Amino acid sequence: MSDTPPLSLYVPEPEFRPGDKPDFSNVPIPQAGAAMMPPVDVDAGEIRDLAYTIIRVMNREGEAVGPWADMLDDDQLKEGLEDMLRVRAFDVRMTMAQRQGKTSFYMQCLGEEAIACAFSKVLKPGDMNFPTYRQQGLLLSTDYPMVDMINQIYSNAADPLMGRQLPIMYSSKEHGFFTISGNLATQFMQGVGWAMASAIKGDTKIATSWIGEGSTAENDFHAGLVFASTYRAPVVLNIVNNQWAISTFQGIARGGAATFASRGLGFGIPSLRVDGNDYLAVYAVAKWAAERARRGLGPTLIEHVTYRIGAHSTSDDPSAYRAKEESTSWPLGDPVERLKEHLIKRGVWSDAQHHQMKEMLEAQVAEAQKQAEKNGTLHDGPHSSAATMFDDVYKEMPLHLRRQRQEAGF
Amino acid sequence: MSDTPPLSLYVPEPEFRPGDKPDFSNVPIPQAGAAMMPPVDVDAGEIRDLAYTIIRVMNREGEAVGPWADMLDDDQLKEGLEDMLRVRAFDVRMTMAQRQGKTSFYMQCLGEEAIACAFSKVLKPGDMNFPTYRQQGLLLSTDYPMVDMINQIYSNAADPLMGRQLPIMYSSKEHGFFTISGNLATQFMQGVGWAMASAIKGDTKIATSWIGEGSTAENDFHAGLVFASTYRAPVVLNIVNNQWAISTFQGIARGGAATFASRGLGFGIPSLRVDGNDYLAVYAVAKWAAERARRGLGPTLIEHVTYRIGAHSTSDDPSAYRAKEESTSWPLGDPVERLKEHLIKRGVWSDAQHHQMKEMLEAQVAEAQKQAEKNGTLHDGPHSSAATMFDDVYKEMPLHLRRQRQEAGF
Amino acid sequence: MSRMTMIQAIRNAMDTAMGRDDNVVVFGEDVGFFGGVFRCTQGLQEKYGRHRCFDTPISETGIVGAAVGMAAYGIRPCVEIQFADYVYPGYDQIVSEAARIRYRSNNDFTVPMVVRMPTGGGIFGGQTHSQSPEAVFAHVSGIKTVIPSNPYDAKGLLLASIEDDDPVMFLEPKRLYNGPFDGHHDRPVTPWSKHELGEVPDDHYTVPLGKAAIRREGADVTVLVYGTMVHVAETAAQETGVDAEIIDLRTLLPLDMEAIEESIKKTGRCVIVHEATRTCGYGAELAAIVAENCFYHLEAPVIRVTGYDLPYPHAHEWYYFPGPKRVGDALKKVMEAA
Amino acid sequence: MSRMTMIQAIRNAMDTAMGRDDNVVVFGEDVGFFGGVFRCTQGLQEKYGRHRCFDTPISETGIVGAAVGMAAYGIRPCVEIQFADYVYPGYDQIVSEAARIRYRSNNDFTVPMVVRMPTGGGIFGGQTHSQSPEAVFAHVSGIKTVIPSNPYDAKGLLLASIEDDDPVMFLEPKRLYNGPFDGHHDRPVTPWSKHELGEVPDDHYTVPLGKAAIRREGADVTVLVYGTMVHVAETAAQETGVDAEIIDLRTLLPLDMEAIEESIKKTGRCVIVHEATRTCGYGAELAAIVAENCFYHLEAPVIRVTGYDLPYPHAHEWYYFPGPKRVGDALKKVMEAA
Ligand SMILES: Cc1ncc(C[n+]2csc(CCOP(=O)(O)OP(=O)(O)O)c2C)c(N)n1
Ligand SMILES: Cc1ncc(C[n+]2csc(CCOP(=O)(O)OP(=O)(O)O)c2C)c(N)n1
Ligand SMILES: [Mg+2]
Ligand SMILES: [Mg+2]
């Protein structure tokens, strides 16, 4: 052991910054259809490769290929397209509404629509999602009333959450959507706890936990993996790797050379990496994982590889920290375009139909917005009565809060 | 997806409980010498197997075999044996001292001596250990005065920590031993931060972090892996898997089917599993990992496989939760006996020498204890003056503490 | 009725709750087969099965986070943190989640969970087995904080906590586990069997959250106190002869403000006692409430007798602990004040 | 001298510290290339290199834990928590580690680190971008807690904090980042350039920790206040005409008890104002200190004007915020009291 030269701190940097011309040709994109589909009761150790590859179904020609293909029929695929377009139309309008001063804040999921929209299709009534703020697709692909989402975003008099929560922090037990937290990652562990409760009770419900790739660095990600693996909780653990965490590229959270999915292997959890912009691939992998959970085989970890095209939130401007053309250079394409092309390839879809559907959905969103505005907007009101802000801190209002409410003049 | 039967909660249980006859013949123990030794700049992905095997050097005949052998000469090996015997003698006496009411608490490391004793030999002055409470070997294999350790254990007038800390929570910057925390796992992350500082400053010092297998479930274990991998911190991350966390067997922390070492792979950290009862193997792997850190190649994760023979602490009685003969049935043997046999096999040691060394060390410890007792014991005193308990909360005592000290009559 | 230690009463409360309601589950580090390092859950796994009482990985984040998820599911977790000193890794799940979920979801989801934790010093546990972190819970809107001082209350309050529909932090003064502690560490230990509050009904009953108990009626000074210090205050009153009214708060949040105000209006003097460090401790809130609401009745400054603002030291434990002498001095001082 | 916003002053303080001392390093979520979501660290990476100012993984445990380890090494980390609401995952490293290491190691290891975090509401941030958690720091022995109310103090206090040899929690009232806020959210925003404390020396200077500043001298009532509320209190005094002595505490721990006691001895009345929730908030400690130490000088009950004990609501932000009207009412009430 000879004397060594001075150490220096290595700090990972993204390849491209504003002004650079992004080139992702060095990012290995496995061929569609190439990944095997193991039986659901497989041992994690036998499918380690699936944590390092990308499971893809649609190839560059828009065909669905390989063992993970052929799970959805034409109608289901059209519904998927409609769901994604609805999310996209909703995001556009709500981003605009924030700019117009109708609310304080909004977060879009542009480019990531396939993930939540496809995933929701494998769930059953009674299952529970523990989402982050970028899974509006879980609600917008079900029959949850869009107008209630806007009421929430506007914190208006009809807001189901009484104006208490930041916009987009929806909650709907009935629709299997756990109340969103502003604190990252906490829901990841809670979903595991919820799933354990289902198993404790001998029920058949399963849970899904969601987390961004940046947030995998948080405590609750680790706790979630530990508890899920120890108790074989009936939960699907989803990492949405959209490459960015506000201004921070995924390399800061990922470190080393491994993938986010591979973190599950150290816990003996079957771990899959999937093309998150491929509706068919997400659906197939979700179905596989949900089946494992339902059959009591335990958790599955899924890394959905995608790209955050939009700003982090309406408070953010990504042009300050990433190259302008990154999103268009991104090698996995646009989930909506890709599904559209697949449907056209199948011979059941056309540009005209697509256009018509888009317009129909834009009208649907506009109409919901109109309805919601009847109940008010954040800055102009009306809101729920201010006295209600003292309610529901506890089931029954304790004396000190009764006194404070009185002090406040209510 | 047909309707599925009710779920149920899986709760792992150890194979043996009090009254059972332990049989570990199903635990796979790889052959000594079988594991390869990669170059230190290897990519983690190329040596995944080393996280699932057990690197062993001494075979059942007491011979040192394979690529990890031949790193230590006779004198070094004898020193290692002496260190381990010293630790063992120390533990016996201090456990007894606690029973005699000379202190409130003690923790032994019976069966795990090889790990800290061998590891300390690859460190240089200036390096820093971030230990748990079971690495007394890190001090007892260096020139740290044993009498100061006992003074600390007795919280007496000569206690370098002024009687403030629980017994065995040593601290010695000079001897590269970070102040032990009662809160599990926190030091694991701190060691990474310390190592980052060394890299930031362009120094050549490295850090080691230590954690028990049970404590790998804690937040700081995860944070440590994340930060170490992202910044390629010059740190060696040690997991001491002694099979038990108080009454809880390792399966509760491990879950699934993987190993603790394999948790590093998800971060691209080279991860090795080593026979923690094999002084030669621990030394070799520690040397390899330290070399990586010194050369700026980043962190290494090491799982030391061993067995906690004694009670968790003097407050614990393992007969309530584990089979009596587990420790003697444990397939990796006793680290002291194994090194002794190897030395005999080398032809440089004998039972008589061994016996003599043991007696010498017992006398050494007894003498240190006698010296320490001159400075007092916990219950009989003397202690440092009670007024000193107000010191060092801050560098300078703020007004409110000055007032409180006065209130206390000092 | 049985004679019970506080450990037995706590165990009995969980047993009672688990027997009455399948939804009650118990978990934490070492609580399963072994029954907990203080043996509070002993026998529960054997009786109710591994899926209702089990060991967890050493992750307070995970323990509390799992409990939150389970409670949202609709079951009632009663979890153990091995020492209150180790609750901090779970603090985010308590503050940001358990405490907020009812409010932020407008009752869509609720968190009926209990987090039990041994608290307080006096066992030579050093700085990480002696802490009293009640103030960092009491400051958090949306959770309740309970600290019993005897076996009878421990059972009744724990049952009330488990049945409560909001999250409850349940702090168990470990120095009281095996007997009431008068604060004289050098005297023989008295067992609960010699104390009237060691008599505990075998059946189900509750002690309501938010109701204080007057442990000693008195005319001269009101002592606001909870947990271990209730007994120390009793000793101090006895030893000084000061006619103190000793109020055992039992629940810190919700607080029985009416009982406090009523007593102070009677006595005109107030001493506040806790083992936790002083600055921003729960005693500060009590002093503030008294100063705000009873000002015109006060005849002397409020005095706080507390742990000093430093880590709980090992060797000097009994200099640190606010024993009967310190409490007694405060009683005398508050009586001397004009 | 330059005109600076509070953001610029904070950035300038770090720049000054990094320029003078190679040992000062800055890191946190998004603080590197981007310069932080509030831009407090903008330009520092470019100027001092990636090894002295860098992005971290999203782990407050890791950020604080790394800082503790680095500080133990001997360098001086000044880290950012993106919002004070997100500090809880790092709370264990703060309470159990940073705060205790000097004491438990008898000065063998020390933790000279600063944890900066934007705090407080008034920006429609909802319950997780508006919190004021100062009390859960002030309760912890071994750390200091600082909250500036203007650019001049922000720079001087931050430099003093970075140079301090103990861990400092540095809370930055985000509503003050771009201008003093009088509490009238419906009026135009005033910039710091119009405020005398927006004038900041370009060179190194410190504002000592533990010294309060009298923002307004007055004879009738002492207002104890810090951060955003300093300006609200000034507005309230002006609007009510009450001759209030407004004391900007600046450091909550160590606290300038002498300044407080002196003022109250003069005025005989006290109003305490903070944005944090009331129960066990820092105002409780202030009220307790006043009740204990100034009892004989008090002519009226102490009044606390605070955030209500509930999560910071989104739509009803301005009903929740303790604005000039509420503070003014308290001033009037305390003056009316006999
Ligand atoms: C505990 C906590 N720390 C920090 C933040 C601030 N924050 C909000 S979103 C975000 C980035 C999250 O990135 P990622 O997990 O990748 O999710 P994405 O936004 O890309 O969907 C950060 C740091 C927070 N909300 N909670
Ligand atoms: C944060 C925290 N939680 C719980 C404990 C209580 N505790 C002390 S040691 C221990 C078991 C640790 O087991 P392991 O990590 O395997 O180390 P070992 O004792 O086997 O060396 C526990 C649960 C603690 N000290 N700190
Ligand atoms: Mg992301
Ligand atoms: Mg262990």
Average pLDDT (C280-300) is 97
- If asked whether residues D30 and D171 sit together in one domain, one would say yes
Number of neighbouring beta carbons within 10 Å of residue B366: 12
- If asked whether residues C76 and C196 sit together in one domain, one would say yes
Residue with token string 């920790």: D209
Q: What is the pLDDT of residue A256?
A: 82
Exposed/middle/buried for residue A279 (C-beta within 10 Å: 0-12, 13-18, 19+): buried
By the 8 A CB rule, do B265 and B48 touch? yes
Give the span between the Cα atoms of A150 and A367, in whole angstroms: 11
Pocket test for ligand 2, best of C55, C60, C64, C82 (most atoms within 8 A of CB): C82
Q: How many domains does chain D have?
A: 2
Closest CA to A155 of A377, A304, A373: A377
**Closest partner residue to B265 among A265, A295, A296, by Cβ?**
A265
- If asked whether residues D178 and D246 sit together in one domain, one would say no
Tokens coding D306 = 């605070």
- If asked whether residues C123 and C227 sit together in one domain, one would say no
Place B1 in a pLDDT band, splitting at 50, 70 and 90.
very low
Q: What is the pLDDT of residue B257?
A: 84
By the 8 A CB rule, do D282 and C280 touch? yes
Average pLDDT (D231-260) is 98
Exposed/middle/buried for residue C296 (C-beta within 10 Å: 0-12, 13-18, 19+): exposed
Q: So what's the ipTM on this one?
A: 0.98
Torsion over CA: C90, C94, C95, C101 (sign): positive
What SS3 class is residue C4? coil
Torsion over CA: A383, A386, A390, A396 (sign): negative
Number of neighbouring beta carbons within 10 Å of residue D196: 8
Helix (H) or strand (E) holding D299: none
In a domain, D247, yes or no: yes
- If asked whether residues D55 and D6 sit together in one domain, one would say yes
Active site includes D274? no
Specify the CATH number for the domain of residue D25: 3.40.50.970
CB contact under 8 A, D55 and A167: no
pTM for the full model?
Answer: 0.98
The minimum-distance atom of ligand 2 relative to the CA of B242 is: 20
Decide which of D168, D200, D232 is a domain's last residue: D200
Give the span between the Cα atoms of A153 and A150, in whole angstroms: 5
By the 8 A CB rule, do C252 and D252 touch? no
**Minimal CA separation from C32 to chain A, in Å:** 14
pLDDT in tens, B212-269: 999 999 999 999 999 999 999 999 999 999 999 999 999 999 988 899 999 999 999 9
The distance of Cα B88 from the centroid of its chain, to the nearest Å, equals: 14
Q: What is the DSSP letter of D124?
A: S
**Closest partner residue to B390 among C54, C56, C310, by Cβ?**
C310
Kindly state if the Cβ of B212 falls inside 6 Å of ligand 2: yes
- Phi-psi region at A105: left, alpha or beta (left = phi > 0; alpha = psi -120 to 50): beta
Range of the domain at C63: 2-200
Closest CA to B239 of B167, B291, B287, B187: B187
Distance from Cα A169 to the centre of ligand 1, integer Å: 14
Q: What is the pLDDT of residue A3?
A: 75
Q: What is the pLDDT of residue B256?
A: 81
pLDDT in tens, C125-149: 999 999 999 999 999 999 999 999 9
Closest CA to C30 of C70, C72, C83, C76: C83
Q: In sequence order, which residues have a C-beta less than 8 Å from that of residue A106 and are 6 or more positions away?
A: A91, A94, A95, A97, A98, A153, A167, A168, A313, A314
Q: What is the pLDDT of residue A391?
A: 98
pLDDT in tens, B289-348: 999 999 999 999 999 999 999 999 999 999 999 999 999 999 999 999 999 999 999 999
Task: Collect residues with CB below 5 Å from ion ligand 4.
Answer: B 212-214, 242, 245
Which of the four CATH numbers 3.40.50.970, 3.40.50.620, 1.20.1630.10, 1.10.3720.10 does domain B44-379 have?
Answer: 3.40.50.970
pLDDT in tens, D32-77: 999 999 999 999 999 999 999 999 999 999 999 999 999 999 999 9
In a domain, D206, yes or no: no
Radius of gyration for the alpha carbons in chain A, expressed in angstroms and rounded: 22
- If asked whether residues C332 and C263 sit together in one domain, one would say yes
Residue with token string 């049935």: B329
In a domain, D208, yes or no: no
What SS3 class is residue C123? coil
Give the span between the Cα atoms of C42 and A272, in whole angstroms: 41
Place A1 in a pLDDT band, splitting at 50, 70 and 90.
very low
Q: In sequence order, which residues have a C-beta less than 8 Å from that of residue B355 and are 6 or more positions away?
A: none
Q: In sequence order, which residues have a C-beta less than 8 Å from that of residue A151 and are 6 or more positions away?
A: A158, A159, A160, A372, A375
- If asked whether residues C259 and C117 sit together in one domain, one would say no
Locate the domains of chain B by residue range. Answer: 44-379
Closest CA to D85 of D147, D171, D10: D171
Q: What is the pLDDT of residue A354?
A: 98
Kindly state if the Cβ of A312 falls inside 6 Å of ligand 1: yes
Tokens coding D207 = 């504002």
By the 8 A CB rule, do A277 and A334 touch? yes
Which residue has the least CA distance to atom 7 on ligand 1? A184
Torsion over CA: A36, A39, A45, A50 (sign): positive
Distance from Cα B242 to the centre of ligand 4, integer Å: 5
The distance of Cα A161 from the centroid of its chain, to the nearest Å, equals: 21
Kindly state if the Cβ of A212 falls inside 6 Å of ligand 1: yes
Q: Which of A164, A213, A321 to mutate to test the interface with D (most CBs of D within 10 A)?
A: A164
Specify the CATH number for the domain of residue C237: 3.40.50.920
| Average confidence score pLDDT of chain A | 97
C and D: number of Cβ contacts within 8 A: 132
Give the span between the Cα atoms of C127 and C320, in whole angstroms: 11
Q: What is the pLDDT of residue B3?
A: 74
Give the span between the Cα atoms of A198 and C109, in whole angstroms: 16
Say whether pLDDT at B2 is over 70.
no
Q: Which ligand is nearest to the CA of B132?
A: 2
Give the span between the Cα atoms of C136 and D137, in whole angstroms: 9
pLDDT in tens, A56-112: 999 999 999 999 999 999 999 999 999 999 999 999 999 999 999 999 999 999 999
Instruction: Provide, rounded to the nearest whole percent, the portion of chain B with pLDDT above 70.
Output: 100
- If asked whether residues C222 and C109 sit together in one domain, one would say no
In a domain, D37, yes or no: yes
In a domain, D119, yes or no: yes
Tokens coding C317 = 């434990």
Q: What is the DSSP letter of B55?
A: B
What are the phi and psi torsion angles at A304 (to 5°)? -90, 115
pLDDT in tens, C6-65: 999 999 999 999 999 999 999 999 999 999 999 999 999 999 999 999 999 999 999 999
Q: In sequence order, which residues have a C-beta less than 8 Å from that of residue D186 and are 6 or more positions away?
A: none
- Residue type for position A239: I
Which residue has the least CA distance to atom 3 on ligand 1? D86
Number of neighbouring beta carbons within 10 Å of residue A206: 30
Secondary structure of D139-192 in the HEC alphabet? CCCCCEEECCCCHHHHHHHHHHHHHCCCCEEEEEEHHHCCCCCCCCCCCCCCCH
**Closest partner residue to C141 among D285, D291, D310, by Cβ?**
D310
Q: Which of B152, B164, B180, B194 to mutate to test the interface with D (most CBs of D within 10 A)?
A: B194
Q: What is the secondary structure of B158-204 as a DSSP string? A: T-TTTT-SPTT---BTTTTBPPPPSSTTHHHHHHHHHHHHHHHTT--
- If asked whether residues C139 and C281 sit together in one domain, one would say no
Place A193 in a pLDDT band, splitting at 50, 70 and 90.
very high
Cis peptide upstream of residue C254 (ω within 30 degrees of 0): yes
- Strand order across the C221-225 sheet: C213-216, C244-248, C221-225, C270-277, C303-307
- If asked whether residues D272 and D327 sit together in one domain, one would say yes
Give the span between the Cα atoms of D140 and D167, in whole angstroms: 11
Decide which of D200, D235, D270 is a domain's last residue: D200
The minimum-distance atom of ligand 1 relative to the CA of A246 is: 11
Kindly state if the Cβ of B232 falls inside 6 Å of ligand 2: no
Say whether pLDDT at C256 is over 80.
yes
